[in-house]
Amino acid sequence: MEYLTLNNGLKMPKLGFGVFQVPDLKECEEAVLNALEAGYRLLDTAAAYGNEEAVGAAIKKSGIPRQEIFLTTKLWVADASYEKAKVAIEISLKKLGTDYIDLYLLHQPYGDVAGAWRAMEEAYQAGQLRALGVSNFYPDQYKNLTLMSQVKPVLNQIEVNPWFQQNSDVAYFQGED
């Protein structure tokens, strides 16, 4: 397995298994178990996917030590405020059945981004979140966040595929320190 080293020193597998659009919990759990058996060690879910419990159950059933799995989940827009983000982090931890999340992403750049990020920074300082990042941010939104935050995002998870390459955004984020 190849790894990336994030800006906070944490190592993250380059290849991961995501469970977007797998709402059936039994199917999701089985898919994650199969992925883990096949050698995947990065799992990507989100509160909005409605399947964090299935991901957590699969991790537990796999028998693989938790520290060998890199777990990513995301804060949904409806919880993008200081108080709601604090609660949402606790809910995700409980649903995933873990006492820490490796990478916690602000899913979209909407709502009270500053308040949500502040709650995420506090959870990071407390050891509940090992790395903080964003998802679906444009370069200007990302820059605004970095200017007002104490903890710099480790990454911006954006969609890139053969039909939607976002070349200028990719170039911008690859040039970030």
49: annotated active-site residue: yes
How many angstroms separate the CA atoms of 52 and 29, rounded?
A: 9
CA angle 93, 1, 137 (to 5 degrees): 55
Helices (H), 20-107: 25-38, 52-62, 82-96
CB count in 10 Å sphere of residue 6: 18
- Kindly name the residue from 40, 49, 104, 124 that is annotated as catalytic: 49
> Which residues carry out catalysis?
49
